[in-house]
Structure 1
Amino acid sequence: MKGPDTLPACLELAASRDGLGVRFVGRHDEPHYSYAEIAERALEVAGGLRTLGVEPSDRVAIAVPSSLAFYEAFFGTLFAGAVPAVLQEPRRLGSRSDYTRAATAMIQASGARLAITSERARGAIPQEATELGVVALRDLPRCPMAPMPVAPTDLALVQFTSGTTGTAKPIGLTHQQILANVRALLDELLKAYPEDNGFRHSVVSWLPLYHDMGLVGSLLTSLVRPGPLTLMPPELFVARPARWLQTISKHRASVSPAPHFAYALCVDRVRDDELEGVDLSSWLLALDGAESVTPETLERFLERFRPYGLREDALTPAYGLAEAGLAVTCSPIRGSYRTREFEGRRLVSAGRPLGDFRVRISGGADGGVGKILVAGPSLMSGYLGLEDATRRVLKDGWLDTGDEGFLEGGELFLTGRNRDMIVLRGANYAPEHFEEIVASLEGIGNVVAVGIVTEQGDDLCILAEVRPPSRGAGSNWARVAINEILSAQMGIVPHRVQLLDPGSLPRTSSGKLRRGEAARRFAG
C-alpha cells in the first residue's frame, strides 16, 4: 500500500476528502470534526508554537486528553516541524506527586523544549521541566502558518516503553518507520476485507492516545487510509464497558482494537438490558494484544456476544511492542486463531510476522522455548540518549524483546513476559512502584508485586509481610488497606493480596528480595 510518506502529508490528504473526519463520543453528545477542520486548527497551533520559540526538530511534550485537543497538539507540533513526545494525563484519583516525578523524568528523557498540557496536567508539571516552560493548550497563541517541510527519515514521534514510572525509556520513531507498521496492518486488513462496492472501513476506539495501540493502531490507521473514526474517552469505557459495544453497533464499525482485559471486562460487566438493539455483525477485526491473551477469555467473549452478531473470526490475537511501532505478528484476519497445549496450559497463537517483519527464537533448542527476537522496517533505531540500554537489546538489527516463546508452523506462541515487568491493561509497570506504595502502610513489612495470568488475562498479585501484632485473625484490615491505597494512587485493584508472616519472602545471599522465587512459592 502506497501513499504519503510523512504524517503531516497523511493529514493533508485526509483533509482533501469531503466529509471524512473524527467523531468524539461524550457522555451526552458526539461532536464531529472533519479532517479539514482538524488540519486548520493544527496549523494554528503550529504557528503558536513557533511564536513561543519552538524550532524544527525540537521535541514538544504533550499531556492532553484523548480528544480534539490531542489532534491539535499532536499535528500542530508536526506541522511546526517539531516532534511530539506523548505523555499520559494525571489520574483523577492518583498521586499528584507521583505523576509529577514520572512526567518530569519522561519530559527530560525525551529532550522536550516545551510541554503542551491540559488544564489538569499544567499544574502537575513544573515550568522548569522544559527550557520553554509549560503551556496549557487553550492558552497557546493561535497563528496560522504553512506546514514546515519534513522528510520520511525525520523523527516523527517519541513514545515510551512505559507511561507509569520514571523508568520509562524514550523511543524515537521516524515517519517512515511508523508508516511501515501502519501500512503492514492495513495491507492485511484490506487483503481480507477489501474496500469495494461502496464499503469503507470504520474504526471505533476508546484506547488512550498516549498508548501505541490507540495512537498507531486507531488514530493513524484511520488517517493513512482515510476513513471514519469514532473516539471514546478511556474513562467512559472503564465506567460503562457497554458503551464500547453500543458505539460499535451504532456507527457500524468494522475495526475496533483493545487490550485483552477489555474483553474480559465486557463479559463480566455488560448487562443484557444494555445490549438491547446492539448488533455487532459489522465488527470484522477485534484486534487483541498488548498483554497475554488467554483462550478462556476469548471463548467467554464469543459465547457472551455471539447472540448479538459477533463473528467468531473477528477475534484476532496479535503481538507487538512500542520498540516496533506497534504490531509485529498477527493471527489471520478473517480466519481462526490457533491454540495449543503447553506445559499443562493452553496458549493462543499470536500469528505470523506482519509484512517485512521477521521473528526468531534465541537460546532455545530447535523448535523450543527461547528469547523472542524481532527485526523489521518499523523497529526503533534505539532508545533516545540511552546508548547502553540500546546496546543491551538491539544487535545487528535484531531486538531482544525480553519475552519468551517458540515458533510452530511459522506462528509465534508466547510463554512468558519480561522477568519482572508487570503488564496490566496494555501498560508496563515496574514492580517497585506497587511495592513502595504498599510498604508505606503502617504494619506492612516487605512487599513483592508480581504479575499473574488469570482466566481474564494479565493481573496483579501483592505479596505482603504483615508485622505483629497486626498479623492474625484481624489482619484482613491489611488486605482492605492495600486494595484502597493502590486503587487511589494507581487506579488498580490487585486480583489477589497474599498476607504473609515476617521473613516469609525469599532473599538472595546479599539480602535482595527474590521476586521470581516469591511468585513461584506464593502466587502460583
Structure 2
Amino acid sequence: ESSLIDVLWRRASSQGEEEAYVFLADGEEVGERLTYGELGSRVRGVAEALSALSGAGERALLLYPPGLEFAVGFLACLASGVVAVPAYPPASRRHLPRLASMVEDARPALVLSSSSLGSKLHRSLSALPSLGGARWLLTDEIGGSPGWSGRRPSRSDLAFLQYTSGSTSSPKGVMVSHGNLLANEALIQRAFGLDGSAVVVGWLPLYHDMGLIGNLLQPLYLGGRCVLMSPVSFLQRPVRWLRAISRFGGTVSGGPNFAYELCVRKVGEEDRSGLDLSSWRLAFSGAEPVRAATLDRFASAFSGCGFRYRSFYPCYGLAESTLMVSGGDAESPPVVVEVEASALARDEVREAAGSGRALVGCGRAGSGLEVAIVDASTGVRLGEDRVGEIWVSGSSVAQGYWRRASATARDFGARPAGEGDSVRYLRTGDLGFVRGGELFVTGRLKDLIIIRGRNHYPQDLEASAEASHPSLRPGCGAAVSVEVAGEE
C-alpha cells in the first residue's frame, strides 16, 4: 500500500458495515456516526468533485467546525491528489493574522468547509487577498460516489501541509508525504502495541498533528473505532473525556500534561463515582513537558475508577517528524529520574542525592527513526548524560518547509560534525539527553533563559511560581527573559 487511501479503500471493502467514527456533539450525546463503508463512499464523492475543480498538487484550505466532516474532506484531498491544509476556523478577528499568514504561504486554490460554517466564513475571509480566486466547496452537500476510483497517490507525493504553531515566528508549512504518514502510523501502532480492537477516544483539535494523526487517522490505519468530541466540550467539563472512555470502553486516549492536571482539579468525587477507566490501557502524554507530579496526582485521583499508573505513556514528537518520534514500553510504567538542577544548568546530568528536578523519560526512538544528541553550537555528537539538541533522522521526517528553501536546508539538512557525508538529520530545536537508551526532553533551545552563564528552563520557573500560592492557576503563567542594563 502506497498511501492511507489504499488502507481506506481496503477498510471500506472488508469492514464496510463496521462503525469507524462517532462524534459526541456536546461531548456526551452521539451527534454523528460513520461506518467504514459510508466513509469510503463519502470520500469518493468529494474526491471526485475535487478532481473536477483542481489538479493534483493544488492546495485546499480545510476550515471545518468540530465533527466528522473534517475527516471526509481531509481524506478526499489525499485521494484526489489535492494537498490538504488543515487550519483553525477563526472564531474572532484576533485569529485572522495567523490564518492570513498561512493562506499567503500556501496559496490555496480551494477552501473546503461545511454548510453550517462555510457561508459565514466566506463573508468574513473575503478580504484576504490570497483567497480572492479560491473556489469554495461545502463538502456535506456532496453525495457519495461508490464507483469513483481516481488516481492512486505514490509514497513520494505530498499529502498535506501541517502548519507549525508559529509561537516564535510566522507559521511554516511542514511538507508531509504519503510515505511519511504511513511510516508514522506504523511507528505509532508498533510503539503502542495496537490492533483492530483499539478504541481511540479523543478531544484534541483535528487541525493539530496529535489530533489528526494520533486520534483521527491511527484508528483508520488499525481498522479500529474512534470516538471524538470537540476541544471546547472537554475544556468546559473535563469529566466528559473520562465519561466517553468509560462509556465506549476506550483503550487509547491522551493529550498534553495540562489535560490530566485539569481532570484532577475539575472532576470531583461525585463525578468520579460513576467512572470505569479499567479499559484505558494506554494514556499517552506529550506535546508539552510531562510532569511526574501530574502523573502521580492523576493516578491517585482515579485509581478508584480502575485507572492504572502503568497505563501512562509519555512520548515525544513534533510536526517536522510527522508526529511521533519516541515512546516507552507500553507494558511498563513511566521512567522517572531525579537530577541535580544545578548540574542541568551546566548541561550535565547527575542524579540528585536528595530531592532534585524530576524528569520523565519519553522512551526510545520509534521504528525507522534514529535520535542523536548534538552540541547545538559545534554540531558534535554527544554521549549519554550530556544535554544537547535533539536531532532526528528516518522515514517519518518530513520533506521540509513549504516554499522555504533556506529554512529547510538549515533544519532538515543537518549533519553531525566530523561524520562526513553521513545521513541528514532534522534539527528539532528541543533540548534533551539520553540515559540507558531512554530520551529525556529538558526544554526548548529558543526558550532557554541564560542568567550569568547558567541555563534556566522556563517550565521549571513556571512550576515554581504556580506552587508558590494557591491563588495562582496552573498553566496560566509564562516565564520569559527581559534585558536590564544590557544584561539578560
* TM-score with structure 1 setting the length: 0.77
Query: Structure 1's 410 and 493: CA in aligned 2 closer, same or farther, altered over 3 A?
Result: closer
Tell me if structure 1 keeps the 8 A contact 2:371–2:391.
yes
Deviations along 1:110-157, one digit per CA (max 9) or x if unpaired, are: 242222233354344336423642525258665844332211211111
What is the one-letter code of the residue matched to 1:413?
F
Q: Indicate the RMSD between aligned Cα atoms, in angstroms.
A: 3.0
1:347 matched residue in structure 2: 359
Query: Structure 1's 89 and 400: CA in aligned 2 closer, same or farther, altered over 3 A?
Result: same
1:73 matched residue in structure 2: 73
1:60 matched residue in structure 2: 60
2:112 matched residue in structure 1: 116
Q: Secondary structure at the match of 2:252?
A: coil
Q: Secondary structure at the match of 1:112?
A: coil
Q: Does 1:414 align with 2:414?
A: no
The equivalences for 1:4-153 within 5 A come to 4-16=1-13, 17=15, 18-27=17-26, 29-30=29-30, 31-51=32-52, 53-91=53-91, 95-96=92-93, 98-117=94-113, 118-119=117-118, 120-126=120-126, 128-130=129-131, 132-133=133-134, 135=136, 137=138, 144=145, 145-153=148-156
Tell me if structure 2 keeps the 8 A contact 1:371–1:403.
yes
Identity of aligned residues (%): 33
The equivalences for 1:474-493 within 5 A come to none
2:315 matched residue in structure 1: 318
Q: Secondary structure at the match of 2:284?
A: strand
Structure 1 stretches of at least 4 aligned residues deviating more than 6 Å after TM superposition: 163-166, 454-459
CA shift, 1:493, in A, is 8.0
Aligned residues: 436
Q: Secondary structure at the match of 1:256?
A: strand
Q: Distance in 2 between matches of 1:454 and 1:386?
A: 34
Deviations along 1:166-215, one digit per CA (max 9) or x if unpaired, are: 7111011111111101101101233xx666xxxx1111011111111111
What is the one-letter code of the residue matched to 2:447?
D
CA shift, 1:165, in A, is 8.4
Q: Does 1:506 align with 2:488?
A: no
Q: Distance in 2 between matches of 1:354 and 1:340?
A: 21
Q: Which segment drifts farther, 216-225 or 364-373?
A: 364-373
Q: Which segment drifts farther, 161-170 or 211-220?
A: 161-170
Q: Distance in 2 between matches of 1:338 and 1:493?
A: 24
Q: Distance in 2 between matches of 1:457 and 1:76?
A: 47
Q: Secondary structure at the match of 1:452?
A: helix
Tell me if structure 2 keeps the 8 A contact 1:170–1:383.
yes
Q: Which segment drifts farther, 235-244 or 253-262?
A: 253-262
Query: Structure 1's 348 and 138: CA in aligned 2 closer, same or farther, altered over 3 A?
Result: same
Q: Distance in 2 between matches of 1:84 and 1:104?
A: 16
What is the one-letter code of the residue matched to 1:71?
A
Query: Structure 1's 220 and 139: CA in aligned 2 closer, same or farther, altered over 3 A?
Result: closer
What is the one-letter code of the residue matched to 2:99?
A
Tell me if structure 2 keeps the 8 A contact 1:59–1:111.
yes
* TM-score with structure 2 setting the length: 0.82
1:400 matched residue in structure 2: 427
Query: Structure 1's 137 and 421: CA in aligned 2 closer, same or farther, altered over 3 A?
Result: farther
Q: Does 1:383 align with 2:401?
A: yes
Q: Which segment drifts farther, 220-229 or 72-81?
A: 72-81
Tell me if structure 2 keeps the 8 A contact 1:286–1:314.
yes
Query: Structure 1's 239 and 454: CA in aligned 2 closer, same or farther, altered over 3 A?
Result: farther
1:475 matched residue in structure 2: none
CA shift, 1:401, in A, is 0.7
Q: Distance in 1 between matches of 2:135 and 2:448?
A: 31
Q: Distance in 1 between matches of 2:272 and 2:336?
A: 29
What is the one-letter code of the residue matched to 2:130?
A
Q: Secondary structure at the match of 1:204?
A: strand
Tell me if structure 1 keeps the 8 A contact 2:112–2:139.
no
Q: Which runs of 5+ in 2 are unaligned?
A: 342-355, 376-380, 415-422, 450-456
The equivalences for 1:196-207 within 5 A come to 200-207=197-204
Tell me if structure 2 keeps the 8 A contact 1:201–1:255.
yes
Q: Secondary structure at the match of 1:341?
A: strand
Query: Structure 1's 314 and 71: CA in aligned 2 closer, same or farther, altered over 3 A?
Result: same
Q: Distance in 1 between matches of 2:169 and 2:21?
A: 33
Q: 1:156 aligned to 149, 156, 159, which one? A: 159
What is the one-letter code of the residue matched to 1:62?
L
Query: Structure 1's 236 and 164: CA in aligned 2 closer, same or farther, altered over 3 A?
Result: farther
1:495 matched residue in structure 2: 477
Q: Which runs of 5+ in 1 are unaligned?
A: 423-449, 460-478, 484-491, 499-503, 518-524
The equivalences for 1:162-241 within 5 A come to 162=165, 167-190=170-193, 200-241=197-238
What is the one-letter code of the residue matched to 1:89?
P
Q: Distance in 2 between matches of 1:267 and 1:398?
A: 39
